[in-house]
Amino acid sequence: MPSAAKTLISTGDIDVQFLIDDVDSGGSTTAFICRVAPGGHTPPPHSHGDWDETVYCSEGGFMFTIDGEGQELRAGEALCIRRGQVHHFANIGSTDGRMLVVSTPGLFHESYFVAIAEILNAAGDGPPDFAALGRVMAEHGVTPAPAPTPA
């Protein structure tokens, strides 16, 4: 049985609202809705080795890059990002895009998004504290992808 409605976590460009957390599911899954503004700043390429993500696009369109390969995701379509795959996404539409993200097992916690939002929102129009973002990512099992090597 799900707990009460969860808090909306917002950075301006992205909103996240959990529907099911690890407590609701006994640790088996987490599920959240993610709204992304057109041209919004999205997470850098990253991976997570302890959970899979299934993404269902309910509105708009996204470009996902998974292990270097681009894949468009339009309303009504879904994809799976397996553990360890480096991925990134962007809203490619002119309106807000929305997706349902389901992580299994339920290790992708609401507290990750709260901490990231606090850092991004504290930066205002300036650059965020990248060291603090890195610490939050590491604490929550999210690994930034290495920077590409120049040719």
Query: How large a percentage of the chain has pLDDT more than 90?
Result: 83
Domains of the chain: 8-108 (2.60.120.10)
Q: What confidence score (pLDDT) does residue 146 get?
A: 83
| Digit-coded pLDDT (tens) for 61-75 | 999 999 999 999 999
CA distance 6 to 147: 35
CA distance 47 to 68: 12
Taking every pair of Cα atoms in the chain, the longest distance, rounded to a whole number of angstroms, is: 52
Residue-averaged pLDDT of the chain: 92
Nearest to 23 by CA among 115, 110, 117: 110
> What sections of 2-139 are H helices per DSSP?
22-25, 110-123, 130-139
Q: pTM for the complete prediction?
A: 0.91
